[in-house]
Structure 1
Amino acid sequence: MSQRQTLAAAITALSALALFAALLYLVGPERIFSGKEPGASDRRRTPPFVRKGDTVFIPDGSPYRSHIVVAPAELRNVSLSRVVPGTVEADPARTVRVLAPVNGRVSELNVELGDNVKKGQPLATIDSGDLAQAIADAEKARAAARLTKSALDRATGLNKAGGLAMRDLEQAQNDYLQATSELKRAEARLEVIGDNSKLTGQRKITLNAPIDGTITALDTAPGDFIDNTTAPMMTISNLDRVWVTASVREKDLSFVKKEERVEVSLVAYPDKKFPGKVEIISQLLEADTRRNKVRIAFDNPNGIFKLNMFATVRFFSPPSKRVVVPPSALMMVNDESSVFVEVAPWTFKRKPVEPETDIEGLTVVSGLNAGQKIVVRGGILLND
């Protein structure tokens, strides 16, 4: 073979190799070596879903069909509920604020915060100059009443004997009336001071417990000077019966009816429910929080309910027909809940709903009609 023929054969081989490399790049080795026509596998490949406007279609052959379950929304007779925060409070009708009847210094304090006391038990002793003044005023009034009574008796006798003018008799009668009025005022003052108290001398007074209960507030100490008789020294509350006060949002007031049942849970006893009923619904809505105070009374003989305990209160509405769906049917997008409704065979459309509460493994929703077919499982595949 001549040199020219050898060169021509080499050029032909290189051209063939370059053409084969171009085919590999453009078509792919799997199509060349398999003998399949380019594009055949692409035509057999089925998309998992197809979007058509605001609907999603699952075509025949899509792997999604085996993962998506459709069922109708159910209508059930349910009682909705609302859970709101609450606190344990003393019954105002069983609470007494102990006031000092006179100004003075606390010379002795017999109780501490949280102590249980019995009616008539000594609470504190006050050394008071006002008390000494009140006793002195009463003694002077008694003396004046005795003196004017004697003068009136003499004037009456002299007038009958004709030895005293009528004007003088009337003056004696007026003096006696004024003296007796002053005596009544001074004695009434002592009675007020001695109410729930015991006068133990010219200057000292002992305050006694007006009811059985617990010292729930203490605002004094030995040596403290009392100069405001309208400020309570301490507060006594009978905790045999207490209030649980719930703060109900304005939009949930439709759930609150007087005498309706409620369930109360305490943080201290999370596994225990305390059944009760609504007794008082405040007529005043708090302007700053837009909440309403609702009170439930509980007997508390064993002291389970303690003041200022945190509680949760569940209110129930009367039973009614409501639409329920499985929780798995609910999808979240931008903090909004929705479900996928079947508008045609294997064609779904997102529909916003509002979950209200969970009951027996189902979720009560509004915005959906009973019987509408929805995706109850596998909706996450469409939720993008």
Structure 2
Amino acid sequence: MAKYLATLLLFVAGLAYWMGWVPWAQPLKTDKAPPTVLAKRMDIAPVLPLSGEVAPAFQVDVKPEIGGKIKKIHVIAGQNVRKGEPLVTIDDTDLLNERASAEAEIAGARLRVEKILGNFSRAKQLFAQKLLSREEYVNLEADYQIAENELAKSLFRRQTVDDRLAKTRVVSPADGTILDVPVNEGQVVVGAASVNSGTNLMSFADLSRLLINAHVNQLDAGKLSVGQLMEVHSPDSSDQDYQARIEFIAPLATVKNNIKGFEVRGVIEGNRESMRPGVSVSIIVPIGKAEGVVALPVTAVFERDGKTVVYVLKGKETECRNVVVGLMDSSHVEIKSGLVEGEEVLMVAPPEPASPKKKKT
């Protein structure tokens, strides 16, 4: 019996220990004071972080105005060129043959004009002396006009061939850099016309003036304005940050990556080698600065009944006080009114007092 009783006591003691009840253990204290912070003066400089992409301010796809086989490519990707420098030469053999044919037509037309002009001049004299009928005179006059018209057509055909020959030499439209050359010598290309887009010979851009394109959330777009400074940094560059200014803010919101916002374009002048088109960049836009203002950590400011409040510690009492906030950065917020420097504020909101229960009647 005693052995059975001892076993039972050991079992009960083990169960009590497993459930966390130890008679000699000290009770846990739960009356720990909440954390506080002192209101102090500091500088608040909020910024708007963005991401964007670099693009040249001027970029075009160079296309031929006439079709044909590429005879010579004069440039390579990455090469800097000046306005008017040759980029591509298209084979002009067929056009030269066509021009020779036009020259032969012109020579023949001139001979016909000269011959008919001689006959017409004699007929004019005879008609004046009334030795030639009016019908014969009119016929010779018409033959002369037809011959002159044929000569004009031949000259126009030669001019058309010369214009096409000039287009076989594709030149740079401005000073800039060749970005890409997707064609090869010997390749047959199609001329750009109203019925087709033509073959892209190369991409050309002016890299002396670069754009920074970004998409800004509709909630943050109102914080930006044209002319505002932007700090641009490329993750691929170890150089210092670039300075840019906002040139354009789209008037119409668009959706990008399922986020509705506005297209923002900044301009950076004076390119460096590390900043190239297509590079992703991080952008910091300063949106204000307040110097030497009373501030609190953002975690010490609360919303209560639609108002912004802080909980000021007065001895052992806590006062809920309305405040007016100003600028805010990632960690602190400016307190414009309702709090003075040095006051102690709770970092956590105190529990709401329980409402008194009504007595039953």
- Aligned amino acid, residue 206 of structure 2: N
Cα distance in 2 for partners of 1:292, 1:254 equals 12
| Structure 2 unmatched runs, 5+ | 1-21, 193-197, 352-361
Identical amino acids, percent of aligned pairs: 20
Cα distance in 2 for partners of 1:331, 1:260 equals 30
Correspondence 1:233 to 2:233: no
Contact map agreement 1:278 1:295 (CA 8 A) in 2: yes
Q: Displacement of 1:117 after TM fit?
A: 3.3
Please point out which of 187, 191, 194 is paired with 1:224. 187
Task: Output one character per residue of 1:151-205: Cα deviation in whole Å (capped at 9) or x when no partner.
Answer: 56336514532255235424532542354255335414522541482xxxxxxxx
Cα distance in 1 for partners of 2:168, 2:290 equals 56
Report the secondary structure of 2:50's partner residue: strand
Structure 1 residues 174 and 112: CA distance shift in structure 2, 3 A = same
Cα distance in 2 for partners of 1:167, 1:303 equals 75
- Aligned amino acid, residue 157 of structure 1: S
- Aligned amino acid, residue 216 of structure 2: V
TM-score, structure 1 normalization: 0.61
Q: Displacement of 1:319 after TM fit?
A: 6.1
Cα distance in 2 for partners of 1:137, 1:233 equals 30
Which residue does 1:20 correspond to in 2?
none
Which residue does 1:315 correspond to in 2?
285
**RMSD, aligned CA:** 4.7
- Mean Cα displacement is larger for which, 148-157 or 247-256? 148-157
Q: Displacement of 1:223 after TM fit?
A: 3.1
Cα distance in 2 for partners of 1:249, 1:127 equals 52
Q: Determine which structure has more spread, i.e. the larger CA radius of gyration.
A: 1
Which residue does 1:254 correspond to in 2?
222
Which residue does 1:146 correspond to in 2?
110
TM-score, structure 2 normalization: 0.64
Which residue does 1:370 correspond to in 2?
337
Which residue does 1:379 correspond to in 2?
347
Alignment size in residue pairs = 308
Report the secondary structure of 2:207's partner residue: coil
Which residue does 2:213 correspond to in 1?
245
Q: How does 1:21-60 map to 2 (within 5 A)?
A: 48=31
Which residue does 1:295 correspond to in 2?
266
Correspondence 1:191 to 2:159: no
- Mean Cα displacement is larger for which, 312-321 or 185-194? 312-321
Q: Displacement of 1:69 after TM fit?
A: 3.4
Correspondence 1:83 to 2:55: no
- Mean Cα displacement is larger for which, 244-253 or 176-185? 176-185
Cα distance in 2 for partners of 1:196, 1:354 equals 68
Correspondence 1:102 to 2:66: yes
Structure 1 residues 331 and 371: CA distance shift in structure 2, 3 A = closer
- Aligned amino acid, residue 50 of structure 2: V
Structure 1 residues 150 and 293: CA distance shift in structure 2, 3 A = farther
Q: Displacement of 1:83 after TM fit?
A: 2.4
- Aligned amino acid, residue 358 of structure 1: D
Which residue does 1:342 correspond to in 2?
311
- Aligned amino acid, residue 310 of structure 1: S
Correspondence 1:64 to 2:36: no
